[in-house]
Homo-oligomer: A and B are copies of this chain.
Amino acid sequence: MASNFRQKEILELARKEGKVTVDGLAEMYDVTVQTIRRDLSDLADSGRLQRVHGGAIATSGVVNILYEERRRLNETGKREIAERCAKSIPDSASVFMNIGTSTEAVARELLDHENLLVVTNNLNIAHILAANPTCKIILTGGELRRTDSGIVGGLTAEMVKQFKFDYSVLGCSAIDADGDLLDFDDQEVMVSKAAIQRSRQVMVVADSIKFLRKAPLTICSLADVDILFTNCALTKELQANCDNWNTTVVAS
């Protein structure tokens, strides 16, 4: 959809700065304003930018969220983790994403991906990805949990089982020293388990704090995971185990 390298960069710049100007971009890329206008028209036509006289602004809603969240997420390095995870997901993939701020961070990094099919039980992810016009969003059914806008319940897991995903992007509450992924909520565990069962590739996003926390329920072992995205080195033993399990560890 972005038919040239400029458009992709313009989009990033607009999301970062909130706005871009025709003149500014023309100077930056050393092209005529007419060329920039064509780029902006294309981006506006596909709903990724909003055209205004003299330039364009980021589609409403997205920037604010990005701005407010970015600070919080950067503190824990979640954004870097999310970025790497998103980069390993190709366009046109089918993806399941569960509840959690880590997965929400990944959703933000997927705004420029094209033709994704995203299934989620996280209402926030649905809202974030609604800004990506080429992304098909499927919500699982179930009860709305107000604390985190998650959709939980047996029905959710049932619904997940009806799909087959290229990828699932999962967050968890904690990772035990022996490599077990842990969570607090039994219903969410059911959902995660179902997603793992139905995914060709399982990705887990977990910032360093997850290695220090404890939680009572086991989702699965890192042995069942294909790629772990994190921002710190694993203990020697755990890293060795991951090597044995054939679990790729991406630590930024």
Contacts and interface: CB of A to CB of B under 8 A. Distances in A.
Interface size class, chain A:
35 or more
A140 interface: yes
Contacts of A141: 138-142, 155-156, 159
A60 interface: yes
Interface string A15-32: 000110000000000000
Nearest to A8: B57
A52 interface: yes
Assembly of this chain: how many copies? 2
A143 interface: yes
Contact of A19 (B5, B126, B136, B151): B5
Contacts of A53: 3-4
Contacts of A19: 5, 8
A246 interface: no
5 contacts: A2-B52, A5-B19, A5-B54, A138-B142, A155-B162
